[in-house]
């Protein structure tokens, strides 16, 4: 039996949890399933319940929950030997201030980045050029801590002209495109801030990023995520640095939501064939 918790994929049995928690009938279905299709917004309790069954699961979210947030991802890159900017993890602002009490001492060469652990789409990301911009970032993080959200990273800045390569992993396929700044001097580039999407620029570097995305998949099992890379363009042969992994990601660079679901549906079909189950049991609705 193929069980789907994804609202867009019908299967032998489809369960749409919405905001409710798993109940005994859901757990029984999970125990009986041969394969389970999870939603992109999969909560941890659903993933853990499915992981404890004998069912095969798509997508594989083991690393998402084992290495959460930007702090976790920096450990993932380290543990799996993936090239990434030097990154330090800080549980609290107080820990950072005690480590660097001198206002003239910094954890990295200037400029560097500070990133809130759990924010997305460049929210909570600060470009630190001096003591003043560091204070602004720490003030923001202090407010976050007071609301119960602590933890951040400081990260070496890789000068890339604001250009970020996104590699979207959908099953065994990797699709790449650039997020490029829409104004001169822009350092932090995101689609939510009107980045220019460019699928044609520097195809040789796109191939390098695509290769590293496949390496990530082979080493970790991640098969649905958008990976951001930066390249140090000051070098003649720049290599891609893993910047972060996004398990929720925009679809504009993939041709929109409808095309994204077509790509995802094909990945589910390919996965079912690979594990020896009938792909016709799952329908895109």
Confidence at residue 234, expressed as pLDDT on a 0 to 100 scale: 87
19 vs 180, more confident? 180
120-129, 201-210, 250-259 — which one is most confidently predicted on average?
201-210
CB 111, CB 159: distance < 8 Å? no
Confidence at residue 23, expressed as pLDDT on a 0 to 100 scale: 95
Is the pLDDT at 231 greater than 80, yes or no?
yes
Is the pLDDT at 190 greater than 80, yes or no?
no
Closest CA to 40 of 60, 26, 22, 56: 60
Q: What is the DSSP string of 114-159?
A: EEESS--TTTTEEEE-SHHHHHHHHHHHHHHHHTT---EEEEE---
How far is the C-alpha of 256 from the C-alpha of 250, rounded, in Å?
Answer: 8
Torsion of CA 257, 191, 175, 233, to 10 degrees: 180
* Mean pLDDT to the nearest integer, 38-64: 96
Is the pLDDT at 187 greater than 80, yes or no?
no
- CATH 3.40.50.450 at 86-156, yes or no: no
Is the pLDDT at 185 greater than 80, yes or no?
no
Torsion of CA 5, 59, 77, 185, to 10 degrees: -80
Residue 244: band (very low, low, confident or very high) from pLDDT cuts 50, 70, 90: very high
Is the pLDDT at 189 greater than 90, yes or no?
no
Closest CA to 9 of 276, 267, 277: 267
Collapse the DSSP code of 167 into the 3-class scheme (helix H, G, I; strand E, B; otherwise coil) and give the result.
Answer: strand
Q: Are strands 35-37 and 56-58 parallel, antiparallel or unpaired?
A: parallel
> How does pLDDT run across 67-102, given as a tens digit for each residue?
999 999 999 999 999 999 999 999 999 999 999 998
User: For 121-130, 163-172, 213-222, which range has the lowest pLDDT when averaged over its residues?
Assistant: 121-130
161 vs 270, more confident? 270
Is the pLDDT at 192 greater than 70, yes or no?
no
> How does pLDDT run across 53-66, given as a tens digit for each residue?
999 999 999 999 99
Structure tokens at 100: 């660097």
Confidence at residue 37, expressed as pLDDT on a 0 to 100 scale: 98
Confidence at residue 104, expressed as pLDDT on a 0 to 100 scale: 83
Is the pLDDT at 178 greater than 80, yes or no?
yes
Is the pLDDT at 191 greater than 70, yes or no?
no
80-84, 181-185, 186-190, 249-253 — which one is most confidently predicted on average?
80-84
Is the pLDDT at 271 greater than 90, yes or no?
yes
> How does pLDDT run across 139-157, given as a tens digit for each residue?
999 999 999 999 999 999 9
Determine what percent of the chain is predicted with pLDDT higher than 90. 84
Which residues in the chain are classed under CATH 3.30.470.20?
164-246
Confidence at residue 122, expressed as pLDDT on a 0 to 100 scale: 64
> Which class is domain 164-246?
alpha beta
How far is the C-alpha of 1 from the C-alpha of 105, rounded, in Å?
Answer: 59
Is the pLDDT at 283 greater than 80, yes or no?
yes
Which residues in the chain are classed under CATH 3.30.1490.20?
86-156
Is the pLDDT at 118 greater than 90, yes or no?
no
Residue 193: band (very low, low, confident or very high) from pLDDT cuts 50, 70, 90: low
């Amino acid at each position: 039996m193929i069980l789907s918790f994804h609202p867009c994929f019908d299967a032998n049995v489809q369960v749409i949890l919405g905001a409710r928690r798993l109940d005994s009938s859901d757990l029984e279905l999970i125990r009986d399933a041969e394969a389970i299709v999870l939603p992109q917004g999969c909560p941890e309790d659903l993933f853990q319940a499915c992981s404890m069954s004998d069912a095969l699961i798509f997508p594989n979210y083991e690393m998402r929950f084992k290495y959460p947030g930007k702090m976790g991802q920096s450990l993932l890159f380290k543990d799996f030997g993936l090239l990434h900017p030097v990154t330090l993890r800080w549980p609290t602002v107080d820990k950072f201030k005690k480590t660097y009490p001198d206002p003239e001492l910094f954890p990295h060469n200037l400029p560097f980045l500070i990133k809130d652990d759990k924010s997305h789409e460049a929210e909570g990301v600060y470009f630190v050029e001096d003591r003043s911009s560091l204070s602004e970032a720490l003030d923001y993080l202090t407010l976050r801590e007071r609301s119960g959200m602590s933890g951040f990273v400081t990260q070496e800045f890789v000068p890339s002209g604001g250009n970020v390569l996104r590699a979207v992993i959908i099953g065994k396929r990797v699709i790449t495109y650039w997020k490029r700044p829409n104004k001169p001097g822009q350092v932090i580039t995101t689609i939510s801030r009107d980045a220019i999407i460019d699928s044609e620029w520097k195809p040789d570097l796109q191939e390098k990023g695509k290769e590293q995305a496949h390496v990530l998949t082979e080493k970790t099992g991640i098969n649905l995520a958008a990976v951001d890379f930066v390249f140090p363009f000051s070098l003649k042969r720049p290599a891609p640095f893993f910047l972060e992994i996004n398990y929720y990601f925009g679809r504009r660079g993939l041709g929109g939501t409808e095309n994204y679901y077509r790509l995802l549906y094909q990945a589910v079909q390919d996965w079912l064939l690979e594990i020896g189950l009938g792909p016709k049991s799952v329908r895109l609705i």
